[in-house]
Amino acid sequence: CTHARAHTQEPPKPNTQAKGGTAREIEMKVEVVDTTLVTPSEQTPRHTLWLSNLDLAVPKTHTPLVYYYPAPPAGDGGEKQEEFFAPERLREALARALVPFYPLAGRMATGPEGRLEIDCNGEGALFVVARADFTGDEMFRDFEPSPEARRLLVPFAASGDPPCLLAMVQVTFLKCGGVAVGTGMHHVTMDGAGAIQFIRTWTTLARGLDAASVHPSPPVHDRTVLRARSPPHATFEHPVYSPSNLNGLPRPFVTRVYAVSPKLLAGIKSSCAPGVSTYCALTAHLWRAMCVARGLAPDAESRLRVPANIRQRLRPQLPANYFGNAIVRDLVTVRVGDVLSQPLGFVAERIKRAVARVDDAFVRSVIDYLEVESEKGSQAARGQFMPETDLWVVSWLGMPIHDADFGWGCPKFVAPAQMFGSGTAYVTQAPDKDDGVSVLFALEPEYLQCFEKAFYGE
pLDDT at residue number 172: 98
Question: What rounded mean pLDDT belongs to the chain?
Answer: 91
Domains and CATH numbers, the chain: 30-225 (3.30.559.10), 243-456 (3.30.559.10)
Q: How far apart are CA 420 and CA 89, in angstroms?
A: 33
pLDDT number for residue 7: 39
Please give the C-alpha separations between residue 394 and each of 85, 112, 187, 439, in angstroms, as whole numbers: 31, 33, 14, 10
How confident is residue 21, by pLDDT bands cut at 50, 70 and 90? very low
Sign of CA dihedral 115, 120, 121, 124: positive
- Which residues form the catalytic set? 187, 405
Pairwise CA distance, residues 455 & 285, whole Å: 7
Q: Is the pLDDT of residue 348 over 70?
A: yes
pLDDT at 75: 61
Between helices 278-294 and 344-356, what is the axis angle to 10°? 120
Q: Is 216 exposed, middle or buried (0-12, 13-18, 19+ CB in 10 A)?
A: exposed
Beta bridge partners of 107: 119, 165
With 70 as the cut, is the pLDDT of residue 65 above it?
Answer: yes
pLDDT at 422 over 70: yes
Q: What is the pLDDT of residue 379?
A: 62
- pLDDT of 233 > 60? The answer is yes
Q: How far apart are CA 236 and CA 370, in angstroms?
A: 12
pLDDT of residue 355: 95
pTM of the full structure: 0.92
Rg of the chain, C-alpha, whole Å: 22
Q: Give the torsion sign (CA, 236, 241, 245, 251).
A: positive
Q: Give me the pLDDT at residue 220, please.
A: 97
Asked if residue 396 has pLDDT above 60, the reply is yes
Cβ atoms 167, 113 nearer than 8 A: no
* 60-68: average pLDDT: 96
Report d(CA 447, CA 253) in Å as an integer.
10
Under a CB-based contact definition with an 8 Å cutoff, are residues 408 and 418 in contact?
Answer: no
- pLDDT-derived band at 11 (thresholds 50, 70, 90) equals very low
Statement: residue 32 has pLDDT above 50? yes
Q: What is the DSSP letter of 386?
A: -
Beta carbons within 8 Å of 331's beta carbon, 6+ residues apart: 239, 240, 245, 303, 304, 305, 306, 354
Residue 159 has a pLDDT of 83
Report the alpha-carbon distance of residue 281 to residue 287 in Å, rounded.
10
Which of 176-190, 267-281, 350-364, 378-392 shows the lowest mean pLDDT across its residues? 378-392
CA nearest to 149, candidates 437, 419, 429: 419
What is the model's pLDDT at position 29?
Answer: 96
